[in-house]
């Protein structure tokens, strides 16, 4: 059974719209992360949360907002979508959030038209 | 986190043992060496990590130089499923200031031929 679930797997959106990317982990971890990978580029760190509190935000735009309703959930809300937001978004988790091993989900591929 | 240098790509044949090098000349004493691999359309997969001693698991052997300025990920008897981009990443050990950020580069594309 998959330990980190990301939904949906694929997402197509129109410019200016809003979407929520879902991430759930069943590893019993206390830290969760979001990364983004645009075409032909390395993975780029976006956010880290530990015990449902924001640890680090490396995203310049406030259009990206993580939402943690439960310890094992970290959703990503993206507002006013732009074509440049098209990328694959990966969720990850780790036990504590302090230098321990991160495990990644399968990703959500977002295409903004 | 300090920077790593890896070759852009490497070629191999099924059944061979592959040595993937990584240079990290400015590594700090409290930085771990992590290896992840990624195949297209999938998330990165953890391979192994180490601090000073060589490590081994079911996926690979990690050889760390005595001065820690370089390391080599050794993949025994590679198969087509081992074809991926391999990332060598430095991570600061657990501290209060650590926010968990992993910094990925372009990694090494490993191609495996039948």
pLDDT per residue, tens digit, chain A (113 aa), is: 679 999 999 999 999 999 999 999 999 999 999 999 998 889 999 999 988 889 888 887 999 999 998 989 999 999 999 999 999 999 999 998 777 899 999 999 999 99
Chain A nearest-CA distance from B37, in A, is 11
A76-96 burial code (b ≥16 CB/10 A, e <16): bebeebeeebbbbbbbbbbee
> Tell me, what's the pLDDT at A98?
72
**Nearest-CB residue to B42 (from A50, A98, A106):** A106
First to last CA, chain B: 37
CB-based contacts of B99: which residues, under 8 Å, 6+ apart? A48, A55, A56, A97
The yes-or-no verdict on residue B1 having pLDDT over 80 is no
> Tell me, what's the pLDDT at B2?
59
The pLDDT tens digits for B32-63 are 999 999 998 899 999 999 999 999 999 999 99
Q: A99, B44: Cβ pair inside 8 Å?
A: no
The whole-chain average pLDDT of chain B stands at: 92
A66 touches chain B (CB under 8 A): no
Which residues in A lie closer than 8 A to residue B95 (C-beta atoms)?
98-99
Locate A12 and state its tokens: 């197509």
The yes-or-no verdict on residue B98 having pLDDT over 80 is no
B39 touches chain A (CB under 8 A): no
């Amino acid at each position: 059974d998959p330990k980190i679930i990301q939904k949906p797997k694929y997402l197509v959106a129109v410019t200016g719209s809003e979407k929520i990317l879902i991430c759930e982990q069943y590893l019993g971890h206390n830290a969760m992360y979001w990364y983004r990978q645009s075409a032909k580029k390395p993975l780029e760190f976006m956010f880290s949360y530990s015990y449902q509190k924001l640890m680090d935000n490396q995203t310049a735009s406030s259009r990206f907002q993580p939402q943690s309703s439960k310890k094992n959930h970290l959703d990503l809300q993206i507002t006013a979508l732009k074509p440049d937001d098209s990328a694959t978004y990966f969720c990850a988790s780790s036990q504590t959030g302090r230098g321990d091993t991160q495990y990644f989900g399968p990703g959500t591929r977002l295409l903004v038209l | 986190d300090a920077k790593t240098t890896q070759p852009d790509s490497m070629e191999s044949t099924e059944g061979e043992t592959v040595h993937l090098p990584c240079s990290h000349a400015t590594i700090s004493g409290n930085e771990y060496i992590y290896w992840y691999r990624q195949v297209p359309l999938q998330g990165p997969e953890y391979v192994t990590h180490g601090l000073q001693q060589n490590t081994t698991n079911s996926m690979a052997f990690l050889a760390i130089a005595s001065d820690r300025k370089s390391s080599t990920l050794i993949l025994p008897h590679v198969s087509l499923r081992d074809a991926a981009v391999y990332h060598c990443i430095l991570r600061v050990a657990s501290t209060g200031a650590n926010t968990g950020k992993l910094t990925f580069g372009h990694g090494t594309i490993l191609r495996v031929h039948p």
